[in-house]
Amino acid sequence: DTGVSQNPRHKITKRGQNVTFRCDPISEHNRLYWYRQTLGQGPEFLTYFQNEAQLEKSRLLSDRFSAERPKGSFSTLEIQRTEQGDSAMYLCASTIQADLNTEAFFGQGTRLTVV
Amino acid sequence: AQSVTQLDSHVSVSEGTPVLLRCNYSSSYSPSLFWYVQHPNKGLQLLLKYTSAATLVKGINGFEAEFKKSETSFHLTKPSAHMSDAAEYFCVVSDQAEYGNKLVFGAGTILRVKS
């Protein structure tokens, strides 16, 4: 296991289509985060899971966004009816403990372009 | 108010000269502070972290940062820049009491190193 893996790395979709991204965290990491990064900005928190439970969602996460983490392993982030404003880099991170002082390991991200 | 303010969006230095990337944070409690680096097409990597131990923190690749509570600052420094240091750097704060269970990122500083 070499780190957090995200797929696909790039996704181009037409406005109105649905897209789904996958994140495979480091094995046995029980906390998983999703962040969104737009050009010129730092990553913004979207949501996080403790094992399979989704414990917090940002107000950035509209009703068109849904995330799951079945069985507390990999996670998916789905965006329905995509809009041009959804174009961004979507980052996943995982950490082994509930302590925020523990290093969070980030994947390389999925870059979404909505045309 | 911004949770994390990186005072310079771009910094340009010559190879072999010192690097200073400035960061101010907003936290009423006892924050943990981090610096992450993002190279093109690579995931975010932790450079160093402050978690209420020594105020001068040493990280990887010769970087260090000093936590100054009176100034609410956590500036990143390196005595001598190397070409490989060219990347985007993010100052990050975590404070469970104030921000919940998430990392809060600054907008980033792009470091350019000239030969």
Instruction: Give the mean pLDDT of B43-68.
Output: 91
Is B97's Cβ below 8 Å from some Cβ in A? no
For tokens 């990597």, name the residue: B45
Q: Is the pLDDT of residue A103 over 90?
A: no
Rounded Cα distance, B18 and B31, in Å:
27
B102 and chain A in contact, CB less than 8 A: yes
The pLDDT assigned to B63 comes to 97
Gyration radius from chain B CA atoms: 14
Cβ-nearest to A4 among B43, B92, B103: B43
- SS3 label, residue B70: coil
| pLDDT over 70 (residue B2) | no
The whole-number pLDDT of residue B42 equals 85
Residues of A in contact with B103 (CB under 8 A): 33, 43, 45, 100, 104
Query: How many CB atoms are closer than 10 A to CB B61?
Result: 12
**Highest mean pLDDT out of A27-41, A95-109, B76-90:** B76-90
| Partner B contacted by A45 (CB < 8 A) | yes
3-state secondary structure of B89: strand
Q: Is B105 strand, coil or helix? A: strand
Instruction: Give me A65's structure tokens.
Output: 């966004």
More confident residue, B50 or A13: A13
Q: What is the mean pLDDT of residues B5-12?
A: 96
Asked if A33 has any chain B CB less than 8 Å from its own CB, the reply is yes
Nearest CA to B29 among B99, B106, B102, B97? B97
Q: What is the pLDDT of residue A81?
A: 97
Q: Which of A77, A104, A73, A101 is nearest to A90 (CA)?
A: A77
pLDDT category, B90, cuts 50, 70, 90? very high
Three-state SS sequence of chain A:
CCCCEEECCEEEECCCCCEEEEEECCCCCCEEEEEEECCCCCCEEEEEEECCEEEEECCCCCCCEEEECHHHCCEEEEECCCCHHHCEEEEEEEECCCCCCCCCEECCCEEEEEC
Q: Quick one: how far is CA B19 from the chain centroid?
A: 12
Say yes or no: B40 contacts chain A, CB-CB below 8 A.
no
Using a pLDDT cut of 70, give the percent of chain A over it: 95
- Check CB contact of B101 with chain A, cutoff 8 Å: yes
Give the number of beta-carbon pairs within 8 Å between A and B.
Answer: 59
Q: Considering only CB atoms, which chain B residues are within 8 Å of A44? A: 105
Does residue B67 carry a pLDDT above 60? yes
Interface test with B, best of A59, A100, A111 (most B CBs within 10 A): A100
Which one of B43, B94, B105 has the shortest CB-CB distance to A107? B43
Lowest-pLDDT range, A50-64, B67-81, B90-104? B90-104
Q: Which two tokens stand for residue B75?
A: 């500036």
- Average pLDDT over chain B reads 91
Predicted local confidence at residue A98, as pLDDT: 60
Q: How confident is the model at residue A89 (pLDDT cuts 50, 70, 90)?
A: very high
pLDDT in tens, A2-30: 799 999 999 999 999 999 999 999 998 99
Average pLDDT of every residue of chain A: 92
State the pLDDT confidence band at A60, using cuts at 50, 70 and 90: confident
Report how far residue B55's alpha carbon sits from residue B30's, in angstroms, rounded to the nearest whole number.
Answer: 13
* Per-residue pLDDT at A65: 96
Judge contact between A20 and A70, C-beta under 8 A. no
Task: Please identify which residue in the block is written with the tokens 């181009």.
Answer: A12
| Interface subset of A 4-23, CB within 8 angstroms of B | 4
State mean pLDDT over A68-75.
93
Residues B55 and B67: beta-carbon distance below 8 Å: yes
Best mutation site among A101, A103, A105 for testing chain B: the one with the most B CBs within 10 Å? Answer: A101
